[in-house]
Amino acid sequence: MTQNTATPQTSDGLRQALLTYGLLWCLGLYLRLTVLVVPPLIPQLKALLGFTNGEVAIATSLPLVTLAAGGLAVGWLLARLGVRGCLLLGLAVMALGSGLRSLPQGFVPFMLATVLMGMGIAIMQAAMPVLAKLWAPGHVGRASAVYTNGLLVGELLAAGATGPMVALWLGAQWQWAFTVWVLPVPLLMLALLRVGRRLPLAHSPAAGRLTLPDLSDGRMWRLVALLGAAAALYFCGNIFLPPLLEASQRLHLLAASLTALNGAQMLSSALLILFADRLMGRARPLIAITLLALLSIPAMLMMPGGHVVWAAGVFGFFTSALFIFVLALPAWLVTLEQLPRLMSGMLCFGYLLVFAITVLGGWLNDLSGTTSLAFLPTAAIGLAAIGIIPRLLACREPAAHASPHVPR
């Protein structure tokens, strides 16, 4: 009799786990896909729309500013709309903004559409850590690795397939690539609306209010520095690799290098699905990952010929591992009730920092004509982040490890 009742329970648990992680992965797919469509189209943006390297950096990193603005509103949005409502709204706005980027024929209209797209991503990004803690309270590291793996697969698709798609199919209509990638979004919204109802969600307060960051919280500022390092590495690798290859007469290696960079990111995120929970809270692995990501920058700059493809893969592997831990740390550090406020400050100030670092790198590149200088601000914030990791991990709330009560 025990066997008969255990089997359905085990089967139900497996189905719920597959549903949980499957939806997390699919949602993660669109956290960066539409942003990383830009690097493969840099030659067209520069040749046909007259973008400079600095403007390309702005076009790619501008969604970071909207991620920062979305961070300020995270508490209010979650209270008013709930987690599922935030994600549905974010998906719709992101898809609309990306589609509109197919239409403008100049820098300013393109930027306005990019801002709209970034607003949608901001709403989604704010809701994902809360969703991960709700759906997998005892496995925050694994849940974060799953949706980050989806994020990285989206980047791999955008970086590796956009160029061939334009060459083989779109041709002169290359701008429609921004629309093609968001065509499946309505199906994902339908799945979240219907299938996602089987998964637990906390009740939202009756009325929402703006949850401002706690400027006196040292954990928030340490997370800001760590997010600045992780995301700056993440974006600068994709933005400045094309001009690096162009300057060294190796532009034919662009597709292979971007694919290696983003493919290696996907590999490390897949490994962390298995090991992230074991490594959470340990300073030495996180410091080692950050240091190896930084050391792979000079490898990319100095490796001759086709070896740059391998260097880009090493860079991508350690950069994505760092980014996964940064996304998981807020939910690991604090309770569910404290999480929106901590995320608010981390996203707001962290992504403003990343935007400043990325744009500064683009300006240094334009002013000096030397691509290596574009990575200088990123290296500086990365070294600073290494120093704050032990103190950050020591600030965990005692109740953060407990599984929260989740109304079903």
Q: Percentage of the chain surpassing pLDDT 90? A: 20
Measured distance CA(349)–CA(370) in Å, rounded: 29
pLDDT averaged over the chain? 81
- Specify the pLDDT at position 97: 93
Q: How confident is the model at residue 60 (pLDDT cuts 50, 70, 90)?
A: low
The reported pLDDT for the residue numbered 405 is 41
Instruction: Give the tens place of pLDDT for each residue, 208-227.
Output: 455 678 888 999 999 999 99
First to last CA, the chain: 27
Q: How far apart are CA 229 and CA 383, in angstroms?
A: 8
- Calculate mean pLDDT across residues 296-308: 82
What's the pLDDT at 384?
92
Cα gap 339→351, rounded to integer Å: 17
Instruction: Please name the helix (run of DSSP H) or strand (run of DSSP E) that holds residue 311, with its range, or none.
Output: helix 307-333
pLDDT digit string, tens, across residues 118-132:
889 888 887 888 888
What secondary structure, in 3-state letters, does 376-400 show?
HHHHHHHHHHHHHHHHHHCCCCHHH
Superfamily of domain 19-401: MFS general substrate transporter like domains (1.20.1250.20)
pLDDT of residue 180: 92
Q: What distance in Å separates the CA atoms of residue 358 and residue 353, rounded to the nearest whole number?
A: 9
Query: Which residue has better confidence, 7 or 182?
Result: 182
Task: Check whether 334 has a pLDDT greater than 80.
Answer: yes
Among 310, 336, 319, 151, smallest CA distance to 229 is for 319
Reported in sequence order, the residue ranges of 173-261 that DSSP labels E, i.e. its strands, are none
From residue 33, how far is each of 52, 56, 303, 371 by CA, in Å?
22, 17, 28, 25
Check residue 201 and report its DSSP letter: -
Bigger pLDDT: 8 or 174?
174
Query: pLDDT category, 404, cuts 50, 70, 90?
Result: very low
